[in-house]
Amino acid sequence: MTPQYWTQATQELAACDPVMHQLIEQFPDATLVSRGCAFTTLARSIVGQQISVKAAESVWQKVIGTIPEITPYTIAATEQELLRSCGLSARKVTYLHDLSRHFREGDLNETAWEDLDDESIIKQLIQVKGIGRWTAEMFLIFHLHRPDVLPLDDIGLQRAMSLHYLDKQPVDKKIMLELAKPWEPWRSVATWYLWRSLDPLPVAY
């Protein structure tokens, strides 16, 4: 499912920023897509931590080959060594089991998220082991389709901003915030196109 705001966002970004205009033209048929399952999105985000998009996809394919139906209950019931054999570190296996527990025990209330602002959802999600601000921001972008998230700690975003805006010079958070000001209220969409410019595979969680 593509966000309803996508067309409006791309039009406004293209009009206000020459780099965005170029990237949006370069990838005319590409859009952010939700997988429609909160648990799967968070699990994929944990799997994807600190590894490339390609490596994360490879590990995830092994996970779903081992556990065809990914739910909080099937993950919880899977032995640690079996998950490790998919290419997951012991730490990530622990994180996935803790995520499963939070869903099974009802600590993560999906029906409440619609009425919460971005920061409130982040505060709730980071109570899960292994979910920090970055993972929570990926969830906001990919599952909840929040339109104005700027994940300042994301290495891919840092690289892309350096490449496209600063002639490969280093960026810091202050510079990133300044560069991203014209993108408001569509910073999630701008971020997605910058990711897309680096990877042959669209980023998806």
Write the pLDDT tens digit of every residue in 85-94: 999 999 999 9
Burial of 58 (C-beta count, 10 Å sphere; 0-12/13-18/19+) = middle
The question of whether 167 is a catalytic residue gets the answer: no
Residue type, 202: P
Q: What is the pLDDT of residues 145-177, one digit of tens each?
A: 999 999 999 999 999 999 999 999 999 999 999
Mean pLDDT of the chain: 93
Distances (CA, A) of 131 to 16, 25, 197: 34, 34, 26
Catalytic residue among 115, 118, 154, 199: 154
pLDDT of residue 50: 84
